[in-house]
Amino acid sequence: MLPPLDDQVLRDNPEFARLYSTLTNVVLNLDGTTKHDQEEKKRTAVRKVSLPHVWFEGPAELDEYRLADVKQRLLTHAIATASPPESRASVARSITEPGQRLREGVSAVAEVPELLLDLLLVLPQLLEAEKSLPQESIELLLSSPPLSELGAMMPDLAALVSSNLHSSALSLARLTHPTTNASYLHRHVASLPQDHAALLASVEKARQDLAVARARTLASLVELLHTYTKCLAHLVRSLEAKHGVVARSLELRATDVALQAQRVDADAQSALRNLAKEVYSPEAIAALRNYAAHVQDAKLRATDRLRSLQAELGEYGVGATGGEGKEKMMREMARVHGEMTRQIEEVKKDLERLQDG
């Protein structure tokens, strides 16, 4: 299929449009192949070969062999699918009248020659055999029934095959002429090749029309997208023309408010610095810094004193691992010292009372 092309490009470039028309209508097919290929006829003749084991002298002889091969295939298929009309009639009667099914089946089999039935079973296998049989087997088959009676059965066999071919032709005619009355379908059997060619031509034309319609659809889609783009651009312009002034005014107001907020923030920071200068004089700031240094030094000395006290307590077993006995003894000594101190205080109080008395 040729790539689609925008109609606007063809309208804007007349010379290219003429070249494109020449290429698509005169030089190239829809699939992009050339229409003036000198070797196409030879390739077509090679593609048409259906019997590669036969040597052909020209296209006419090739067509004759192809026609003969098609006839043989049709006859083989007709023989393989042929069935005696009496058997079909007996089946129909057995469906409509179930009570007489057995009697009519027996009469139908009696009406059809048994050799003809055997012939219908044997012939398709022989005709469709991929490998030829040995000469002895062929002579044996031809000398034995039912093939030995082929000449006598030929009229009945020809009638069956002809009826089958006629039925197939009527089915094809019914497909090509669905609106025609069934009683007049036989008139269109002779025109089946023309109908087949017309159908092929219509299918090819439909494919070409479909390809052209697809190309036009793509071009229309591109044009529609361009139209949508223009509509969106016009919509944006109209919105800017209608609401642009208000939007710019709001933007300017927001910018002014932001500048005022920055100015107020700067004034507040300046006032804070001035107030700090008024409250804290340079002498007060120096004194506070000295006091902060003194507090920091006191904190360091307190930390060192705490460490030394913890070390002393550790010597007495307080807070140290494995010093539970020392800690218990020190607690007992502290208790005894407390009691002795209390007793001494009581004795002092008694002495003072005696001295006063």
Res 221 pLDDT > 80: yes
Residue closest to 112 by CA, chosen among 78, 142, 82 = 82
DSSP codes joined into one string, 207-265 = HHHHHHHHHHHHHHHHHHHHHHHHHHHHHHHHHHHHHHHHHHHHHHHHHHHHHHHHHHH
Q: State the pLDDT at residue 318.
A: 66
Cα 7 to Cα 41: distance, rounded to the nearest angstrom: 35
The answer to whether residues 211 and 1 touch, using CB atoms and an 8 Å cutoff, is yes
- Residue 348 tokens read as 């002092």
- Residue 1 tokens read as 């299929």
Res 132 pLDDT > 80: no
Beta strands in the chain (DSSP E): none
| Residue the block writes with tokens 């020659």 | 113
In our burial notation (b when 16+ CB lie closer than 10 A, e otherwise), range 207-244 reads: eeeeeeeebeeebeebeeeeeeeeeeeeeeeeeeeeee
Q: State the pLDDT at residue 193.
A: 83
- Residue 290 tokens read as 């000295």
Averaged pLDDT, 305-311: 86
Q: What percent of the chain has pLDDT over 90?
A: 14
Q: State the pLDDT at residue 92.
A: 38
User: CA distances (Å), 99 to each of 81, 87, 90, 102, in order?
Assistant: 29, 17, 13, 8
For 186, the 3-state DSSP assignment is helix
The answer to whether residues 175 and 135 touch, using CB atoms and an 8 Å cutoff, is no
The 10 Å Cβ neighbour count of residue 305 is 10
Q: What angle do CA 169, 89, 112 make, to 5 degrees?
A: 95
pLDDT top residue among 36 and 332: 332
For 28, the 3-state DSSP assignment is strand
In our burial notation (b when 16+ CB lie closer than 10 A, e otherwise), range 269-303 reads: eeeeeeeeeeeeeeeeeeeeeeeeeeeeeeeeeee
Q: What are phi and psi of 28, to 5 degrees?
A: -115, 150
Q: What are phi and psi of 146, to 5 degrees?
A: -90, -5
Q: State the pLDDT at residue 54.
A: 45
Q: Over the chain, what is the mean pLDDT? A: 77
Q: pLDDT tens digits, residue range 21-34?
A: 888 888 887 667 77
Q: State the pLDDT at residue 87.
A: 47
Q: State the pLDDT at residue 166.
A: 83
pTM more than 0.85: no
Averaged pLDDT, 310-317: 75
Res 264 pLDDT > 80: yes
Q: pLDDT tens digits, residue range 6-22?
A: 677 788 888 888 888 88
Q: State the pLDDT at residue 300.
A: 93
Averaged pLDDT, 147-174: 81
Q: What are phi and psi of 292, to 5 degrees?
A: -65, -40
Q: State the pLDDT at residue 233.
A: 92
Cα 156 to Cα 165: distance, rounded to the nearest angstrom: 14
Q: State the pLDDT at residue 106.
A: 37
- Where residue 244 falls among pLDDT bands split at 50, 70, 90? confident
Give me the numbers of helices (H) and strands (E) for the chain, helices first please.
Answer: 12, 0
Res 304 pLDDT > 70: yes
- Where residue 231 falls among pLDDT bands split at 50, 70, 90? very high
Q: State the pLDDT at residue 130.
A: 61
Averaged pLDDT, 166-187: 80
Q: What percent of the chain has pLDDT over 70?
A: 79
Averaged pLDDT, 77-91: 61
Q: pLDDT tens digits, residue range 45-65?
A: 665 554 444 444 455 677 788
Q: State the pLDDT at residue 299.
A: 92
Please state the domain extents for the chain: 7-197, 198-278, 282-356
